[in-house]
Amino acid sequence: MNKWYILRTASNCEFKVHIELDKCDISVFTPCEFKAQRVNQYCAKKNAPKMAVPYPLYRSYVFAKVPFFHPILSELKNMKLVYGFLGRDGNPFIVSQDEIDVMDAKCDFNQFDVRLHAKREQVEGAEAYMRTGLEFKVGDLVQFEKGFHSQMQLEVLSFERQDTAARVLVRGLFKDTEQTIPITDLILLETQVKKEPKAA
């Protein structure tokens, strides 16, 4: 019967390790604390509602019921996600099932749920960055949130700078131009109806 061990993870990689172990049907336990905050600067600027964001209670550690020579351990080490087992003089510390049960009971619902996390991470790229209900995607029409040009209609062509800026098409009187604008300055155009250029 496999025993519970403590894996030493790279900084801020606890949940990644949890997900990879869960994929292999390995019992894994990552107690958390939840903080109410906005998930990124886009949410903060738009004053979006705060979300319960999980943080590992024990930084850089994950409890796992994993055999010593399971292939996933080598894979995680090669990915630089795991350094090895926590222990002394080459002997890993063993955590009893009773100790895991006590931590589990004290945490109540405050533990990492890989399934809920996976649902949030299904959206990638710019839409993941703008996870607020105010999202826009390539092909959508947007406008400046405020300012002199707030009524100008812009079409999203692509996302740049690690999805923090949008490349937009600006339709002019004589010619169209492209500009790169921080997504925090843009909002989704309410009508979503393209203004066709007038015939000459």
Low-confidence residues of the chain: pLDDT under 50: 119, 122-123, 194-200
The answer on 136 and 112 residing in a single domain is: no
- Amino acid type, 48: A
The answer on 65 and 14 residing in a single domain is: yes
User: Tokens for 3?
Assistant: 């025993």
Is residue 10 domain-resident?
yes
Angstrom distance (rounded) from CA 15 to CA 121 = 12
Structure confidence at residue 2 (pLDDT): 72
pTM for the whole structure: 0.61
Is residue 44 domain-resident?
yes
The answer on 107 and 8 residing in a single domain is: yes
- CATH number for the domain including 188? 2.30.30.30
User: Phi/psi of residue 134, each to 5°?
Assistant: -110, 20
Structure confidence at residue 200 (pLDDT): 44
Residue 192 belongs to what domain range?
A: 132-200
Is residue 189 domain-resident?
yes
- Confirm if 8 and 82 have CB atoms less than 8 A apart: yes
If one counts the domains in the chain, the total is 2
Structure confidence at residue 77 (pLDDT): 95
